[in-house]
Structure 1
Amino acid sequence: MSLRVSILLFDDFSNMVLSCLMEPLRVVRDQAGIDLRFEVMTPDDRPVTSSSGLRVTPDAALATAARPDLCLLIGGDRFREAAVDPALWRHLRPARTADLVIAADTGAWLMAAAGLLDGCRATLHWHLLEEFGEVFPSVTVSPDRHVRDGALWTCGSAATGLDLILAFIRERFGPAAAFEAESMFLHDGARQASDPRFGPGLRGRSSDRLRKVVARMAATLEAPPSLAELAHAANLSERSLNRLFQRELGQSPARYLQSLRLARARDLASHTDLGLDQIALRCGFSSASALSRAFKHRTGRSIRQPT
């Protein structure tokens, strides 16, 4: 599975919105080993500056960039100027050609100004909703946290952007991938303090019981527990534990545990100088060859092959 992502940034964009959309996708790429590539683009192919002063230089020119699978369009505080720029249609080329568009913050305003939202449902930053509806009467404005209309998803703030991208990940890559992204970003300090290796206090759709089982899995990768042991610790039968994982993650406990072990092995192989024998032992595999076979079977490539 592969995904080419174009990130189209306008001046005075929000770093927070960009992070909330991009970082969960990065987790999916790193944890699942998916061929997911980011490419930053800007109007007129020039550097842009975020609202907090971060300067970003584009990776590719608008005119020659390949058609993306997904375009993340992030408008900025100067959206009114950008909306009346005669070159707006050209500036929105990645959004016009992408298979799917996520327009965040004031991105929907720019799409509407170019006539790309006529007859569509959309939302944007909450404080602009009333004005947005008045300026673009052909757009059905929604106060929902995020809105999907065909191949267009819209949202406003960073928090709603995070909700949206998790929904996208759940649909595109499955509930287990979304769970991993939730686990990385949605937690609370008190619960993390009780289990520093895994912060399970998620705000997402997963249940407390599932999070506790996964926390135990993550804390025991060197000596992975059996299904019977996991079920006993969760006060469940093995059958009930399997149903729990199938219902919430769409896969068996054994497959999910294997994913955790392989993700940890990939991280150690990529970011440490440990040999494969040492990595295998730390991740519950009997030998380097057993690890290599499992990784090749799951991903189709060598564990130390660059993603």
Structure 2
Amino acid sequence: MRRRQFLRVAVLSAGVWGVGSLAGCGSQEGSASGSRSITSASEFSTALPVPPLLEAARNGDISHYSMRLQAGTSSIVPAGPSTTWGINGPFLGPTLRLKQGEKLRVDVKNDLPETTSLHWHGMRVPADADGGPHSEIAPGETWSPEWTVDQPAATLWYHPHPHGKTESHVYKGLGGFIIVDDTEEPTEFPHEYGVDDFPVIIQDKSFDESGELVEANRAGVGMLGNTILTNGTHGAHIEVGAQRIRLRLLNGSTARTYCLGLTEDRTFELIATDGGRLAAPLQLDRILLSPGERADLNEGDTVRLRSFAHDLGV
């Protein structure tokens, strides 16, 4: 029988900072103004939810995906439920897994009360498929971009990008992963989605006494939440066998930067960043992620992923 292990993936420490410019990670824990976590080290009681893979219908040689932007209700903190936004669900969205060379069309329907958009962050797409502020989707309307995947394997993400409303719409819960696969992926990399290959979006949110998500604690560059979530959950863990796992980390916060590492200063392998796979794994004990940045980690032990203080250089 294989020994079961736990990887605790909530980002615990109050040693996280929201900054506009970045410097190197430090080795000491610290506190940031307006930052705290309501999750203690002993409260990892929730299994990390893994976003479902978005299924495609086939129309000739084109993969046809459907995404619905919608409002809903989510139970995130014990104080009570919160009004949230999501894609094909009440909070966050499914993972769009694509192959290099794949032709696709995505029907994006806006069932929200506000005009928004959906941007494919990191994808090489034609200008009319980019989903920036020039491609707004009014309430009740559907936008249907088409493109061919023309890039090597990478971990990307999608999020709204309406003019003047991007921060608010991301904060409410709109966003999700895009995984691009190619035929060059080393066979030794973990590759089974949700089994040894996990997408982890890290975000900070603030809640009122009733558990409602609130937009508060602005600190120059944007909102700094007082509760750290992973995949929309606080206090989450992953139970895996005695095996190597891959964490596809995404900083989905709107302003906060994280200096991430493992407990006991254990090292991990960095195998990919925003631009895709590295030529060779890089041994690290810290990685700094600013909003929107991604990193793929290869780890083979039972540890806790946490955030450490880092030197802002000021």
Band the TM-score falls in, shorter-chain normalisation: under 0.3
TM-score (norm: length of structure 1)? 0.23
More helix by share: 1
Q: TM-score of the superposition, structure 2-length normalised? A: 0.22
Greater relative CO (CA pairs within 8 A, separation 6+)? 2
Larger Rg: 1
